[in-house]
Structure 1
Amino acid sequence: MKLSKIRYFLIFMGPILTITIIFYFMIGWCIYISMTDWRSARVSMKFVGLRNYFDVVQSREFYVSLINNIQWIALFMLPTTFLGLVIAYLIILTGKETIFRTIFLLPTAISMVVAGTLWVWMYATNGGINTLLRMIGLGSLARPWLSDPRTALYALIFVTVWQYLGFSIIVFEAAIKGIDRTLIEAAVVDGASGFQVFRYVILPQVRHGFLIAVPLLGLSALKVFDVVFVATRGGPGISTYVLAYYMWVKAFWWRFMADGAAIAVILLLLSLVLVIPYATYALRRWFG
């Protein structure tokens, strides 16, 4: 009986423990590499302490990347969360949930590489957006969206909003459906309008939806890489650099592996800034 329990434990927990050990080993290895002098194709493990971190954070590319990431988090997370909640509520009101859920979930099913390629075509000088603007008499607004440093970053942020909106809608749709129907019915009987039901009944009851959506969307914005790589390669200039892309440039383009590892560690620390408050609140809510 004891051998059988050990066997089942190894079958189910063995893969999890293996992946966990590899995961934390790779984090430790990355931290170690970030403190070495590996700055060329030739491997060098000479310990230099925090020198690489100081060099990275003092660079203009890092400053631009950090600012762009902050903008990305704010301009991606807030509208995606708000629109997801509002659209989820409107979908439930229409009763056509299957149709609208499919429409909004389709972009989520597309990989970011495919989405980036699609929107490169849409944003092209003679692409879909500029063609549409000219057709409706707004040709003065047409511009090379990804070639203009003033619009390139915001064009890419819109792509991520478009792709992740379906995820936000599903989260809040599930949260709204979990509300006790008697609360909504009582508000309607008391004469509350649709907006008042949303404001005073729905919104306070979907906090757990925010607890799921906000941290996950924030982390997605913080680690964004593929759409930048596919659409702009950080350009024009460095106007669309983000930390993950700058890490790739340092590590695999310039061959400064130690600098790339340092940026990866900084990204890890920034991720913990988002995750720890979420985890603390969740643990207090569920087990406190």
Structure 2
Amino acid sequence: MRRPLTLSDRIARWLPQIVLSPSVIALFVGIYVFIGWTAWISFSSSTMLPKFDFVGLTQYVKLWSTPRWHTAVFNIFVFTLLFLAITIALGLLIAILLDQNVRAEGALRAIYLYPMALSFIVTGTAWKWILNPGFGIEKVVRDLGWTSFSFDWISSPDYAIYCIVIAAAWQSTGFAMAIFLAGLRGIDTSIIKAAQIEGASLTRIYLSIIVPMLRPAFLSVIILLSYISIRSFDLVLALTNGGPGTSTEMPSTFMFSATFRRNQMGVGAASAIIMLMTVAAIIVPYLYSELKENRNGQ
């Protein structure tokens, strides 16, 4: 016969929920309530202060009628494509090199992963100094004797976007390397040995066998790096502040400027919802595929 639950039993059962409930409530309010609030503001006529009327899609029409927003959308596409291509290529190359059982692999892995421990504010500030023509790479090279050398991309409207790509790729390459290296270590080495017995070169083995087997790692890297590129507000703010002019304007910096500098809270909220929908369009299919795969594997 089952004994009745005592008070201590009930407390022990409910204690985890009681302890976690403040964090859950704060998380719910801090994320979902404010998402709902931002969505409502995007359908209002809010300017400097929030209003709780309803004007339909007026703010979204105004947003997409703003040339500065078009520049921000174009920049985020250019930045994301270059950032993904460079980071994935370098991360995969470093992972393959480390997978050859090189000496001091642990130290090298830590060195490559170290930039990921820095915030984008620190990365942006450091690269702003490095790329500054007055005391950065250009000055160092000229002091070494190459007086005609010029590297002033950070002050050029045509090339400033590439400075953000360089800084972002430097910070995130180690992250991509770690995921690819974990994928490589999970591949059965007997497959490589069998291919070598058949006479396949190491390059052919990696291109035809190993890289296709890293599909889950590629998917994870692409999803996570895409998310990082969309939320690159702090890196852009520290490195170029959206300039020169609007040449490095991103949706995140546009949202900040519209909301807090130009008193267009409704437009800023509309741009935030557009970014949220973009992130959701990237993350949700990935989570769905992962959950489906886990369910099928059980």
TM-score under structure 1 length normalisation: 0.92
| Counterpart-to-counterpart distance in 1, 2:122 and 2:30 | 30
Q: Which residue of 2 aligns with 1:186?
A: 194
Letter in 1 for 2:162: Y
**Identical pairs, percent:** 30
Aligned residues of 2:41 and 2:50 also touching (Cα < 8 A): no
Alignment of 1:53-202 (within 5 A): 53-96=60-103, 97-134=105-142, 140-202=148-210
Structure 1 residue 257 displacement after superposition: 1.6
Q: Map Cα deviations across residues 108-153 of structure 1 (whole Å, 9 max, x no partner).
A: 1221111111111111113332135436776545132211001101
Mark the CA change 1:138 to 1:197 in structure 2 (over 3 Å): closer, same or farther.
Answer: farther
Alignment of 1:30-49 (within 5 A): 30-40=38-48, 42-49=49-56
| Counterpart-to-counterpart distance in 2, 1:143 and 1:177 | 40
| Counterpart-to-counterpart distance in 2, 1:164 and 1:138 | 31
Q: Map Cα deviations across residues 203-253 of structure 1 (whole Å, 9 max, x no partner).
A: 122111112111000011112111211121111110100000000001111
Alignment of 1:245-256 (within 5 A): 245-256=253-264
Asked if 1:15 is matched to 2:23, the reply is yes
Letter in 1 for 2:151: R
Does 273-282 or 13-22 show the bigger shift? Answer: 13-22
| Counterpart-to-counterpart distance in 2, 1:19 and 1:142 | 49
Letter in 1 for 2:221: A
| Counterpart-to-counterpart distance in 1, 2:277 and 2:149 | 40
Structure with higher Rg: it is 2
Mark the CA change 1:205 to 1:135 in structure 2 (over 3 Å): closer, same or farther.
Answer: farther
CA RMSD between the two structures? 2.0
Asked if 1:215 is matched to 2:223, the reply is yes
Structure 2 runs not aligned, ≥5 long: 1-8
| Counterpart-to-counterpart distance in 2, 1:7 and 1:122 | 53
Q: Map Cα deviations across residues 190-209 of structure 1 (whole Å, 9 max, x no partner).
A: 33322122112321221111
- Decide which of 256, 262, 282 is 1:274's aligned counterpart: 282
Does 129-138 or 179-188 show the bigger shift? Answer: 129-138
Aligned residues: 287
| Counterpart-to-counterpart distance in 1, 2:290 and 2:144 | 49
Does 93-102 or 115-124 show the bigger shift? Answer: 93-102
3-state SS of the aligned residue for 1:255?
Answer: coil
Q: Which residue of 1 aligns with 2:5?
A: none
Letter in 2 for 1:60: P
3-state SS of the aligned residue for 1:93?
Answer: coil
Mark the CA change 1:127 to 1:13 in structure 2 (over 3 Å): closer, same or farther.
Answer: same
Mark the CA change 1:105 to 1:198 in structure 2 (over 3 Å): closer, same or farther.
Answer: same
Structure 1 residue 284 displacement after superposition: 3.3
